[in-house]
Amino acid sequence: MRILFLGDVMGRAGRAAVSERLPALRRDWRIDFVVVNGENATSGMGLSGAHAKSLLEVGADCITLGDHAFDQKDMLQYIETDPRILRPLNYAKDAPGRGAAVFKAGNGRKVLVAQVLGQVFMKRPFADPFSAVDQVLKAHPRGGMVAASLIDMHCEATSEKMGMGHFCDGRASVVVGTHTHVPTADAQLLPGGTAFQSDAGMCGDYNSVIGMEKTEPMRRFVTGMPKNRFSPALGEATISGLYVETDDATGAATRVEMVRQGGRLTPCGP
C-alpha cells in the first residue's frame, strides 16, 4: 500500500497548497491512502468544519488534529458528524470524537490511524501516550486485523517521538511526528519494519516562524513584549510529509521517503 502523510496544514497558504497539489500527487504517485494533519488549517489555530470538508474533498482520507484540536469551537460538534476526523487519543477524558479509527483503502484493505499527544514540554499534562498507543496497537495487529497502521505522534520533543517510534517498531507500519512544523531529516525504516520520521514538518509558508508571519514572533523574541496577535504567513507554502510503501500481507513498511513540494524548501519525494 502507498501511504502519504502531510504535516500540519498552516492557515490559508497551507490549505491552498494542499488543494493545489494533493490531487496530482495522489494520481502521479498512485497513493492508496492519505492522512493530513489539520490542527492549524483555520487561521493557524484549529480546524473548522468547513475547512475539514475542503481537505477531505481534495483527497485526504483521514484528518488528524493535535493540541489545537478544538481551537475552532465548531469542531466540538463537527467531529462527531465525520468519523474521518481524529483528535488525539489522550486529549481529555471527556473530549468529543475519537482518537483512532479503522479506514478502508482500495481493495478492501483496512488501515488503522491513531493520534496521540506527547508529554514533554507540552502546555498541559496529557495522559500517558505509550499505554494509549499500546492498547490500540494490541487491538489492531498489523498484517492481521489491518493491512497497515499509522500513528501520528504529536509533541515537541524529538526524543519522545523517537521513543514512540521504537515502542511501535514491528507493530505499526508508520510512526510520524507532528506539531513542531519543522521537518526533521531522519526518515528511516526502523529494524522491525516501521517507517519513521521525527517530524513531518508543516504544509505552510516557510518564510515565517513555524508558519506564523514572522514580525510578531520576532518582536516577542527580541523585545520580550507582545504587540499584535499571531497570524499565519501567506507566501507560497511547501507541502511537507512522508511517503511510505507497505507490504499488505505483513503491514511492514518497505520504503520511506521524505516529501517536500513547492514553496521555499528544496523539493524531495519518491
- 152 vs 245 by CB, closer to Fe ion: 152
160 binds Fe ion (CB under 5 A): no
68 is catalytic: yes
In the list 3, 5, 6, 8, the residue contacting Fe ion (rule: CB under 5 A) is 8
- Residue 239: name the closest of 259, 209, 214 by CA: 259
| Rounded-to-integer distance, Cα 76 and Cα 209, Å | 28
- 46 vs 193 by CB, closer to Fe ion: 46
Grid cell in block for residue 73: 469551537
Positive or negative, the CA dihedral 126, 127, 129, 132 is negative
Sheet holding 2-6, edge to edge: 85-86, 62-64, 33-37, 2-6, 239-246, 253-261
Q: How many residues of this chain bind Fe ion (CB under 5 A)?
A: 6
| Rounded-to-integer distance, Cα 5 and Cα 257, Å | 11
Pairing of strands 110-117, 100-104: antiparallel
Exactly one of 51, 68, 140, 181 is catalytic; name it.
Answer: 68
Stretch that binds Fe ion, among 31-39, 75-83, 85-93, 247-255 (CB under 5 A): 31-39
Least spacing, CB of residue 178 vs Fe ion, in Å: 6
Grid cell in block for residue 155: 509533541
| Rounded-to-integer distance, Cα 108 and Cα 201, Å | 30
Contact characters 208-237, Fe ion, x per CB under 5 A? ------------------------------
Helices (H) and strands (E) in the chain, counts: 6, 12
Asked if residues 42 and 51 have their Cβ atoms less than 8 Å apart, the reply is yes
Q: From residue 170, how far is each of 78, 148, 252 by CA, in Å? A: 34, 11, 7
- 40 vs 208 by CB, closer to Fe ion: 40
Positive or negative, the CA dihedral 36, 105, 259, 29 is negative
Asked if residues 15 and 51 have their Cβ atoms less than 8 Å apart, the reply is yes
Grid cell in block for residue 137: 496497537
Least spacing, CB of residue 101 vs Fe ion, in Å: 20
- 201 vs 251 by CB, closer to Fe ion: 201
- Write out the binding residues for Fe ion, residues 53-92 only, by CB under 5 A: 66-67
Contact characters 168-207, Fe ion, x per CB under 5 A? -----------x----------------------------
Q: What residues make contact with Fe ion under the rule CB under 5 A?
A: 8, 39-40, 66-67, 179
List, by residue number, the catalytic residues: 68
